[in-house]
A = this chain, B = another copy of it.
Amino acid sequence: MLIKDINRMKEVIKGVKKEGKTIGFVPTMGYLHEGHLSLIRCSKRDNDITVVSIFVNPIQFGQNEDLDRYPRDLERDEKLCRQEGVDYIFVPSAEQMYPEGFSTYVQVEELTGGLCGAFRPGHFKGVTTVVTKLFNIVQPDRAYFGEKDYQQLAVVKKMVKDLNMNLEVVGCPIVREKDGLAMSSRNKYLSPKERESAVALYKALVRAKESFEKGINSVEELKKIMEETIISYPEVNEIQYIEIVDPDTLKPKNVAEEGDVVALAVFVGNTRLIDNIRL
């Protein structure tokens, strides 16, 4: 069932809670792909009821980012959700989520300074604020986030812990295309040529992991190897960052250790793609 109104969603949730059923929640910005569907399947497995939200959250986009052209296809999303057996699709309007005079924000002050946070000021503040609102509306027992947005997952986990929220945040593995490209709604932006070069991120991550496993633990050296790999793809325009960070603190390392996260953001054509791998 598709629900647009916040109060209606709250009423439905109240009823579900009264029946003692558990609620799994998959917050998305829509234009669903196999990555989202894997989250839905995890939620279906763990909970009595699954709620998917579709909301392109304006306050997590920067002024020069792609809010306006972010891909949308509610009809297709709805069909996919039905196929997966989603119980409720929650599609609030920006007007109802952020009425005039809206002025309360949730911010995780650690974890958000590096990686994507360094290049997208205000992004994570927008994410934690909307996620708090959605959590309060849907009141899930468990919420599912993809590991592709590793920093987002870490930040949301931290927020839930710090603010004593009553749910478990579950991270799910990255789902990849056959050639290794991480699934993302933004892959739609890629021209056929760019799509070929987009595998650069994954290839670089795999080379870093292989090099690490062969004994190279200097982050400088690993970064160099990754850069070499990436720039060999013709449609790559810019490497925004490559970092090897502690999986919990997200602090950059000089010497890589098992379990560290290798994360990167790369512009392929004009499309900014991110990906990561655990060492």
Listed in ascending order, the chain A residues whose CB lies under 8 Å from chain B are 6, 10, 101-111, 128-129, 132-133, 136-137, 139, 158-159, 162-166
Contact = CB atoms under 8 A, between A and B. Distances in A.
A163 B132 contact: yes
Contacts of A158: 103-104
Nearest to A9: B164
Nearest to A7: B164
Contacts of A132: 163
A66 B124 CA distance: 34
A222 to B, nearest CB: 27
**Most chain B CB within a 10 A radius of its CB, from A10, A101, A104, A106:** A104
Where chain A touches its partner, the secondary structure class is mixed
B106 A110 contact: no
27 contacts: A10-B164, A101-B110, A103-B109, A103-B110, A103-B111, A103-B158, A104-B106, A104-B108, A104-B128, A104-B158, A104-B159, A104-B162, A105-B106, A105-B109, A106-B106, A106-B107, A106-B163, A107-B107, A129-B163, A133-B162, A133-B163, A136-B163, A136-B164, A136-B165, A136-B166, A137-B164, A139-B166
Given A104-B159, A105-B109, A133-B164, 20 more contacts: A6-B164, A10-B166, A103-B108, A103-B109, A103-B110, A104-B106, A104-B107, A104-B128, A104-B158, A105-B106, A106-B106, A106-B163, A107-B107, A129-B163, A132-B163, A136-B163, A136-B164, A136-B165, A137-B164, A139-B166
Shortest 8 CB-CB contacts between residues of A and residues of B: A104-B162, A103-B110, A136-B164, A103-B109, A104-B108, A104-B159, A133-B164, A137-B164
